[in-house]
Amino acid sequence: MKARYLGGLVAAGLALGGLTGCSGDDEQPAAAPRTTSAAPTPTPTPPPPPPPTWPLTGLTASSATGDVTERPALAIKVENSVDARPQTGLDAADVVWEQVVEGGITRFVAVYQSTLPPQIGPVRSVRPMDPAIAAPLHGLLAFSGGVPAYVQAARDAGLQVVSQDSGAAGFSRVSTRKAPHNVYADPTVLVGQADDAHKASPQPQFEFGQPPTAGTPATRLDLTMSGVSHPRWTWNGQAWLRAEGQQPAVTADGRQLAATNVVVLRVDVVQTTARDPAGNPVPETQMVGSGAATVAVGGTTVEAR
């Protein structure tokens, strides 16, 4: 009796060899080795699509349906004089620009798209740099009063003008403030007046990502906007908190204003020929060109251009 080794067949990763057979003097044909079929390779499941995000903040939609609402950006002028504080609705803005106006005081261009608070104010007049600030949003610019040339410049920049003094709906005066610091706006009503050319959501204005790994640790930004305006931002481990000099800047309900990112642009400011009622020249921030910048995020600062 002799044995025969039939080999080591491998199929689908399994060793099927090591088989033996026996025969007498009259050998019988060896049995055919068993084979198995390879299992099909499963098709990998594609990753889920990224969740929708709001274009001006990069934040994921948190609504019940997870949808990002299609609506235009609303840029609205908000006063920042002592008589205007505390303001209403600033903490709900996606982006807030601060600009120097006559007399060295500052005003805000507050931009709303992901959230529309019940009320915003006090609302004040348009300035010569506002069209350049708001034009990339291709949305609405809302204000109360303004030099006709500045109003026309906003229209020429492709913005839809929504003005209190022209009779647009959504503005009202409150009895708790004296004029001209008492004009407030309902942003839902303002956005509801968008025409067909200004109903689309804005394009993203910034690239969002993780906080920079290279930067200068910083916990405070002391800024000089003018001789009378000295905003301060302090990092508390979660956000940058705003103060007007030594005084915390708060909303009408007492919460301190906070920002995730603070971007400081060093720009040229020129005096125009226009004058305010007190005789002060109206300044214009030069928005086109290049210059130094500081980006403050996550307790660090990064120098930029």
Q: What is the 3-state secondary structure (H, E, C) of 152-193?
A: HHHHHCCCEEEECCCCCCCEEECCCCCCCCCEEECHHHHHCC
Written as one letter, the residue type at 1 is M
pTM value is 0.83
The verdict on residue 61 lying in a domain is no
Q: Buried (b) or exposed (e) across 81-93, using 16+ Cβ within 10 A?
A: eeebbebbbbbbb
Could you tell me which residue, 13 or 277, shows the higher pLDDT?
277
Q: Which spans in 208-301 are helix H?
A: none
| 79 vs 108: CA distance, rounded Å | 6
Q: Are residues 124 and 1 in the same domain?
A: no
Q: Are residues 29 and 135 in the same domain?
A: no
Return all residues near 110 (Cβ < 8 A) that are at least 6 apart: 75, 76, 78, 89, 90, 93, 95, 96, 97, 120
Q: Are residues 22 and 159 in the same domain?
A: no
Q: Are residues 8 and 126 in the same domain?
A: no
The verdict on residue 60 lying in a domain is no
Q: What percent of the chain has pLDDT over 70?
A: 86
Phi, psi for residue 263 in degrees, rounded to 5? -115, 120
Q: Are residues 23 and 125 in the same domain?
A: no
Q: Are residues 175 and 226 in the same domain?
A: yes
- What pLDDT, on a 0 to 100 scale, did the predictor assign at position 276? 86
pLDDT in tens, 92-112: 999 999 999 999 999 999 999
pLDDT in tens, 165-178: 999 999 999 999 99
How many structural domains is the chain composed of? 2
- What pLDDT, on a 0 to 100 scale, did the predictor assign at position 93? 98
The verdict on residue 248 lying in a domain is yes
Q: Are residues 29 and 146 in the same domain?
A: no
Q: Are residues 91 and 18 in the same domain?
A: no
Q: Domain range spanning residue 3?
A: 1-34
| 238 vs 240: CA distance, rounded Å | 7
Could you tell me the pLDDT band of residue 17, with boundaries at 50, 70 and 90?
A: very low
Q: Are residues 16 and 131 in the same domain?
A: no
